[in-house]
Chains A and B, each alone.
Chain A
């Protein structure tokens, strides 16, 4: 819950936290990942480190971490290549992949760990996936899964190589960015999309991209919860209005604050719980 939080350190995370780490150079990321995993080691979590490199290289990447050999020996740490974790990167199987992580959480608990903590450099996955929407839908699903499992995750990517890094960041509660500000997030819980933070003209395209990617139930209206949205302007509202128009069963907007309502009124979007957009 809560507004998106810009973070400058990977630690201080608890189970259920979903963090993204946009980086400029990989050397910085591997140190960040080591610190993130060390926190999980102390918490007795099963640890997984994933990247687009051969396993020995990934192990080298963690060499600054003093406890690396110990957690490797006990089996607490598992290191895997990206292609091994994501079997088909181009046609990412969103539900299958989420189910795999959920199963790994259960195995971790069964093995006596307190949860599962994953640090993954997904830059190559973002580059390989055939459409951006598929990856964004995956992040929305992972975020939702993590909110109900004892899982903690950090998705890293090199910002210069990621398409729409601002929109990708917005799919996380905790965000670290190299090249842009942290201003909003979108998270999905069932058929509810929860917007937090501030959406203005500078990120309206990112909002539109995220909303497009949110896989929507066709049969009933999507609910958009604006309780945690502190600010939206005309450009941001326009993105929301277009989303309402394109939703198959319309959109129900709830929780709009006064200033937000003012903009929604301008586009004729009802804020009283009635369905906006093309209803059935």
Chain B
């Protein structure tokens, strides 16, 4: 007796569902996606597809007339514009769907994971488990073993809480949780060297002047203005949190590290600023901007306050 397939298990459309579906054959992907689409259409949900060439052509054939009932059916090829820009576009599409007030579902194939540059996306997959927890959609993320390295597939299973169990989604045995995954890929949190340059800032323009001078001495050219802006945004947040910011910088493993520490009480959330803030003109963009300007970033608690590090590679 074959158990009845439940394409989204117990998902009730009230929160985020996040599944990594790993497949090796065309039949598998069709068998997984068709009931998923049909269930969504039957429930009156918007069904969105973003996928690579092969998956699109398989779904076009399999869906036939139902293709016209999808809310959108887009190529993944045009989506990758670097981590932050891709996420910004993705986020704005999500916010529009969220604004309808109804649940929706996505078949997404982040085909760019096949490229080295695209692998930073795994971090967002981990971060959205918390950042998007309140969004009312089920994200069925397709991973083609024929196109991806085993390591990339392992990361997918480590960053998605759900995977496919044959008749319904099941918890991914390899899932490590958002924080643990981010810690494993962010630069290791080291002791600040005693000879790091440091200053205390109580007024943001003073901080910018100091950072500009140091950046000039460090020999950054075109990138200098980005560093000044990124550090300034962290300083502004720190001043808001505790009226004072400690700024320091040192070289580490080929990076230049810029650290901004506040005396809190602030958020120590390692995912803060990982996804774009709301699209209206309210707050929250400074950290997102700082992260997008830097090559890497990490966050740690420091007593009641927070230490944020930005990493820049020449």
Binding site for B on A (CB under 8 A): 181, 183, 198, 200-202, 231, 233-235, 238, 241-242, 245, 257-259, 262-263, 266-268
Beta-carbon contact of B232 and A200 below 8 Å: yes
Q: B289-304: which residues lie under 8 A (CB-CB) from chain A?
A: 289, 293
Which of B225, B236, B293 meets A201, CB within 8 Å?
A: B236
- Nearest residue, chain A, Cβ from B283: A238
Residues of A within 8 A of B203 (CB): 202
Question: What are 27 A-B contacts defined by CB distance under 8 Å?
Answer: A183-B205, A200-B204, A200-B205, A200-B236, A201-B236, A201-B240, A202-B203, A202-B205, A231-B208, A233-B229, A234-B233, A234-B236, A238-B283, A238-B285, A241-B281, A242-B281, A257-B225, A258-B222, A258-B225, A259-B225, A259-B226, A259-B228, A263-B229, A266-B285, A266-B288, A266-B289, A267-B285
Q: Are B281 and A238 in contact (CB under 8 A)?
A: yes
Chain A residues within 8 Å of B236, by CB = 200-201, 233-235
Q: Is B286 an interface residue (CB 8 A)?
A: yes
Q: Closest A-chain residue to B229, C-beta based?
A: A259
Cα distance, A262 to B227, chains bound together (Å):
12
Which residues of B are at the interface with A, using a C-beta cutoff of 8 A? 203-205, 208, 222, 225-226, 228-229, 232-233, 236, 239-240, 279, 281, 283, 285-286, 288-289, 293
B188–chain A nearest beta-carbon distance, Å: 29
Cβ of A263 and Cβ of B225 under 8 Å apart?
no
Q: A234-B233, A235-B236, A263-B229 are in contact. Are A201 and B281 (CB under 8 A)?
A: no
Interface pair B281/A233, CB less than 8 Å apart: no
Say yes or no: A267 contacts B281, CB within 8 Å: yes
Extra A-B contacts (14), CB below 8 Å, given A233-B233, A259-B229:
A183-B205, A198-B205, A198-B208, A200-B236, A201-B239, A235-B286, A238-B283, A241-B281, A259-B225, A262-B229, A262-B289, A266-B285, A266-B289, A267-B281
Across the interface, B226 reaches (CB within 8 A) one of A181, A235, A262, namely A262
CA distance A235 to B222 in the complex (A): 23
Q: Which residues of A contact B239 (CB under 8 A)?
A: 201
A187 to B4, CA, bound (A): 70
Taking CB as reference atom, which chain A residue is nearest B290?
A234
Docked Cα-Cα span, A268 to B88, in Å, equals: 11
Least distance between A162 CB and chain B CB atoms (Å) = 21
Chain A nearest CB: distance from B84 CB in Å?
10
Please tell me if the beta carbons of A234 and B285 are within 8 angstroms of each other in the complex: yes
- Listed residue (B208, B222, B289) with the most chain A CB atoms within 10 angstroms of its CB: B289
| B204 / chain A contacts, CB cutoff of 8 Å | 200-202, 233
Interface centre among B208, B285, B293 (most CB of A within 10 A): B285
CB distance from B21 to the nearest CB of A (A): 33
Closest to A201 in B: B236
Instruction: Provide the residues of chain B in CB contact with A268, threshold 8 Å.
Output: 279
B285 cross-chain contacts in A, Cβ below 8 A:
234, 238, 266-267
Q: Which residues in B have their C-beta under 8 angstroms from that of A235? A: 236, 286
Complex CA gap A245/B282 in Å reads 13
Q: Determine the distance from Cα of A198 to Cα of B208 in the docked complex, in whole angstroms.
A: 11
Task: Specify which chain B residues have a CB less than 8 angstroms from the CB of A198 in the assembled complex.
Answer: 205, 208
Chain B residues lying within 8 Å of A231, measured Cβ to Cβ, are 208, 228-229
Compute how far the CA of A230 lies from the CA of B240 in the bound complex, rounded to whole angstroms: 23
By a CB distance below 8 angstroms, the chain A residues around B293 are 262
A113 CB to nearest B CB, Å: 41
Shortest distance between the CB of B230 and any CB in chain A (Å) = 10
When C-beta atoms are compared, the residue in chain B nearest to A235 turns out to be B236
Quick one: closest A residue to B285, CB to CB?
A234
Q: Are B232 and A233 in contact (CB under 8 A)?
A: yes
Closest 8 pairs between A and B when the two form their complex, measured CB to CB? A259-B225, A234-B286, A234-B285, A201-B236, A241-B281, A238-B281, A259-B229, A200-B204
